[in-house]
Amino acid sequence: MIKLFHSQQPILPTVNGNVDAGGGLLIDWLLVNEAMKKHVIQASYKVHTPDERYQPPSDHRLVTAAIDL
């Protein structure tokens, strides 16, 4: 695994709270190889938290990042 992100801001959990014992977990990652690493726009990495007004569609949160080819 290649570590891309060096941020002072903690990465949000990628599993919604109250799914498993212990609350939200950070278990989903964006994986890229060395050839793809230079194309990932690091500032675009985001863990999307669901709208609290609605039941989450999944126990995992959406993780996105943009790439520039």
Helix (H/G/I), strand (E/B), else coil: 40: strand
Dmax (CA) of the chain: 41
Q: What are the structure tokens assigned to 67, written together? A: 């790439």
Per-residue model confidence (pLDDT) at position 39:
94
Return the percent helix, strand and coil in the chain, to nearest 5: 5, 25, 70
CA-to-CA distance for 15 and 4, rounded, in angstroms?
Answer: 20
pTM of this prediction? Answer: 0.69
Which residue stretches of 1-69 are H helix? 34-37
| Per-residue pLDDT tens listing for the chain (69 residues) | 445 555 555 677 888 776 666 566 777 778 889 999 899 988 888 889 889 899 888 888 888 889 999
Per-residue model confidence (pLDDT) at position 67:
93
